[in-house]
Amino acid sequence: MSSYKTTYLPVGGYKTAMAGSALRRLMTEYRELFNNAPHGVVAGPASEDNFFEWDVLIQGPEGSPYEFGVFPARLSFPTDYPLSPPKMRFSVPLFHPNVYTCGKVCISILHPPGDDPLGYEHSSERWSPVQSVEKILLSVISMLAEPNPESGANVDACKMWRDNRAQFLKEADKAVRRTLGL
């Protein structure tokens, strides 16, 4: 007689099990961020009832066009996290080469794992389950400090960053002023 117990998952049980695993991972990451958040970042679940939606505040990096700004964003995690990356969207208009006009952040670490269909990114630059919320937030801070116009989400911002830096800095300053209510 075998001592193994067979467990049958109900229909949709795999998804439920994945969500439970994702929830445990998110709770652990939240605890780590709460105890040791990167400088200039506050992040956590939007409510106690939903750990899959996080509110984020990012302070503009010192010496960057976004210095002194405080930028609210939302991280939305899939139920199969960390196998799939979250999505991040700024809640305020942010004129930036790597941010779509709708606020969605476009950086390699948030792109699905595997090979880039366009051949621009190496698979090592894209999402993998060893990444974390902290690494995402540090990447976004780095993106704010050093835009990548070669992988643009906002064509107008990319062009202005390359061709008219003074005008770009004025647009970035407008974004900072909006976050401060000025």
Residues designated catalytic: 106
Given strand 70-76, what is the order of strands in its sheet?
A: 41-47, 50-59, 70-76, 87-90
One-letter amino acid at 177 equals R
Return the H-helix or E-strand segment holding 137. Answer: helix 133-145
Residue whose token pair is 């390359």: 162
Q: Which residue type does 1 have?
A: M
d(CA 171, CA 96): 9
| Nearest by Cα to 71 from 85, 89, 53, 84 | 89
Helices (H), 9-132: 13-35
The region that residue 97 occupies, defined by phi over 0 for left and psi between -120 and 50 for alpha, beta otherwise, is alpha
